[in-house]
């Protein structure tokens, strides 16, 4: 049975800061951010955007194109959860008017959350071939103003519909997983800002990629040249570039050039949006499909990594007509229509977003019509509205 990705929805909030402006403000050479980190701009989420609202907005990108009555499972992967008990997916299910019979829950393992949900959704559809599953990855990456990780922040959401006979990409059989209990990145309950050991995290990321990629090729009897593209979780695009260099080391020129060219296509959206944690790998996929030139039947290798740490390598095959399910113009417009902030405006909005609004105060959003947002709390219950 062919099971895989039938729809992809993307959302990012409507504000950004330019890395050149940020570099000047931090008295750094702009090339340290533009080349050394590989980022151009970074989306900023204000107080009215959270994991839930972004998850709703990304799913609405394709909701009118599917049969909602067939949705039997909704999984929300995030490390930016809005409640210690209640699943973010329940807020989303209500906003989308999905059936009460939908099984729904939230999963967490740093940036691995959407991949974990995708694998569960695949197994669900295999057991229930007449049903579909929605899997969301939605996060705000925060390290703090003028912190070491400041340039690797961002905000956004990816929503995926998984079904039988998918229209974008079939998930191939087999995977390679690897995990260890380490402390390269974490966020304590008493902190809204993440803690990270950047150099160590990069080392672990590259080590886990090498382990899972080599094991996958061994188990599936494949060589690097058998992949048309390799894509990566991109906390910042230079990290994926380092992994890709390891992948093509010693390969023939044709293979090296193909994988390098497709990596460049896959990083385009991330270089503009920044780190979106659970959705990052799938933003790479969307960017590859919309900015690359792959033909149906192309094999794409995907490396998923969640600090702490969990990694998995798997692959998918593009299906005939996949291009018709994409909307590059709308995704480009979503990025282009963001408002540019000065560094001072960014700092104020960022620091304000760390504060919980006073209960019973109604928040207003400056997003365009039709976008959902967090409107504050009433009796400590989160409220969501649509413009």
Handedness of CA 281, 55, 7, 99 (dihedral sign): positive
Q: Is 336 exposed, middle or buried (0-12, 13-18, 19+ CB in 10 A)?
A: exposed
The verdict on whether 233 is a catalytic residue reads yes
Q: What is the C-alpha to C-alpha distance for residues 37 and 207, in angstroms, rounded to an integer?
A: 19
Structure tokens at 354: 């760390």
Of 57, 55, 61, the C-alpha closest to 74 is 55
User: Regarding beta strands 310-318 and 339-341, do their DSSP bridges make them parallel or antiparallel, or are they unpaired?
Assistant: unpaired
Structure tokens at 134: 């929605």
The verdict on whether 79 is a catalytic residue reads yes
The verdict on whether 111 is a catalytic residue reads yes
Q: What are phi and psi of 308, to 5 degrees?
A: 115, -25
Bridge partners (DSSP) of residue 134 are 74, 161
Of 73, 202, 173, the C-alpha closest to 132 is 73
Catalytic position from the list 40, 109, 111, 175: 111
Q: Let me know: does 356 contact 38? Beta carbons within 8 Å.
A: no
Structure tokens at 118: 């995708």
HEC letters along 258-304 = HHHHHHHHHCHHHHHHECCHHHHHHHHHHHHHHHCCCCCCCEEEEEE
CB atoms within 10 A of CB 107: 20
Catalytic position from the list 40, 79, 109, 367: 79
Of 334, 353, 283, 345, the C-alpha closest to 45 is 353
How far, in Å, are 85, 113, 148, 179, 204 from residue 201 at the CA level?
A: 29, 18, 13, 14, 5
Q: Let me know: does 17 contact 41? Beta carbons within 8 Å.
A: yes
Q: Let me know: does 7 contact 166? Beta carbons within 8 Å.
A: no
Q: What is the C-alpha to C-alpha distance for residues 316 and 306, in angstroms, rounded to an integer?
A: 20
Catalytic position from the list 109, 150, 233, 312: 233
Active site residues: 79, 111, 233
């Amino acid at each position: 049975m062919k099971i895989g990705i039938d729809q992809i929805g993307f959302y990012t909030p409507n504000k950004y800061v330019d890395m050149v402006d940020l570099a000047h403000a931090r008295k750094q050479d702009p090339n340290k951010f533009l080349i050394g980190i590989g980022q151009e701009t970074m989306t900023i989420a204000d107080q009215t955007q959270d994991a839930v609202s972004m998850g709703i907005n990304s799913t609405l990108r394709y909701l009118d194109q599917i049969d909602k009555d067939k949705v039997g499972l909704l999984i929300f992967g995030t490390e930016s959860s809005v409640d210690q008990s209640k699943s973010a997916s329940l807020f989303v299910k209500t906003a989308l008017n999905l059936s009460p019979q939908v099984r729904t829950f939230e999963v967490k393992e740093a940036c691995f959350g959407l991949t974990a949900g995708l694998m569960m959704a695949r197994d669900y559809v295999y057991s229930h071939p007449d049903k579909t599953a929605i899997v969301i990855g939605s996060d705000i990456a925060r390290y703090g103003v003028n912190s070491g990780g400041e340039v690797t922040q961002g905000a956004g959401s990816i929503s995926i519909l998984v079904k039988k006979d998918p229209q974008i990409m079939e998930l191939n059989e087999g995977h390679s997983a690897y995990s260890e209990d380490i402390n390269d990145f974490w966020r304590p309950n008493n902190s809204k800002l993440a803690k990270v050991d950047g150099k160590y995290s990069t080392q672990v990321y590259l080590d886990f990629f090498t382990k899972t990629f080599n094991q996958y090729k061994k188990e599936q009897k494949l060589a690097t040249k058998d992949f048309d593209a390799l894509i990566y979780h991109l906390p910042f695009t230079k990290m994926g570039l380092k992994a890709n260099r390891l992948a093509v080391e010693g390969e023939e020129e044709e293979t090296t050039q193909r994988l390098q060219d497709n990596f460049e296509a896959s990083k385009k959206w991330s270089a503009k949006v920044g780190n979106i944690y659970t959705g990052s790998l799938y933003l790479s996929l969307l960017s590859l499909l919309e900015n690359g030139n792959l033909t149906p039947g192309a094999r794409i290798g995907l490396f998923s990594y969640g600090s702490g740490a969990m990694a998995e390598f798997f692959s998918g095959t593009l299906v005939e007509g996949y291009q018709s399910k994409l909307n590059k113009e709308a995704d480009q417009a979503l990025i282009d229509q963001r408002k540019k902030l000065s560094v001072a405006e960014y700092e104020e909005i960022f620091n304000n977003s760390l504060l919980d609004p006073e209960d019973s105060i109604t928040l207003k959003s400056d997003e365009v019509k039709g976008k959902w947002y967090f409107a504050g709390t009433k009796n400590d219950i989160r409220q969501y509205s649509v413009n």
